[in-house]
Structure 1
Amino acid sequence: MSVAETIQQKLQAALLPEHLEVVNESHNHHVPPNSETHFKVVIVSQAFDGQRLLARHRQVNEALAHELANGVHALSMHTYTPQEWQAQVAVPDSPKCRG
């Protein structure tokens, strides 16, 4: 199973998201081809209701603790409640880091 699939499964189980995107952005960084080290996660979950951004990120970090300690170098998180997601115009693009 790929790292992206593992991230998807763990977040699905932990947060029951209404919307979940896991994007491997490793190709934007100076890493070997086909790496799975840099990810962007867009997650919409009722579990984030009433929580500040830091608490939301902690929930994601807890769900992915093993991956973050074993090979995932960077994780960009965009965490929304369903109401925020409906009002959101677009998810911010990640910066191009390859240099």
Structure 2
Amino acid sequence: MVTPQQVQDYIAAGLPCDVLDVKGDGHHFEAIIVSEAFTGLSRIKQHQRVYQALGERMREEIHALSMKTYSPSEWAAANGQ
């Protein structure tokens, strides 16, 4: 069974993140991801970058991942900064 920390490590290994928080129960995970790599990308493209970082793990180890992705400026706006 995959832990939230492992999912977090997998994402961090493939995508530079300013904020990365993963929670879950071993099957279903929720992530907040802030990355400069998301700047100028649509939400769909941002999610595709995360899936790319996870690679085959999305098919083999991780059954469900709900994510909220932000560029640094989107994150600042979402947090009233």
- For structure 1, the residue ranges without an aligned partner over 5 or more in a row are 27-35, 90-99
Partner residue in 2 for 1:73:
63
Partner Cα distance (1:3, 1:63) in 2:
17
Partner residue in 2 for 1:7:
7
Partner residue in 2 for 1:51:
41
The RMSD of aligned alpha carbons is: 2.0
On the 8 A contact 2:46/2:69 being kept in 1, the answer is yes
Residue identity over aligned pairs, in percent, reads 36
Higher strand share: 2
- For structure 2, the residue ranges without an aligned partner over 5 or more in a row are none
What secondary structure is seen at the aligned counterpart in 1 of 2:52? helix
Partner residue in 2 for 1:38:
28
On the 8 A contact 2:14/2:54 being kept in 1, the answer is no
Higher helix share: 2
Deviant stretches of 4+, over 6 Å: none
TM-score (norm 1): 0.71
> Are 2:46 and 1:63 equivalent residues in the alignment?
no
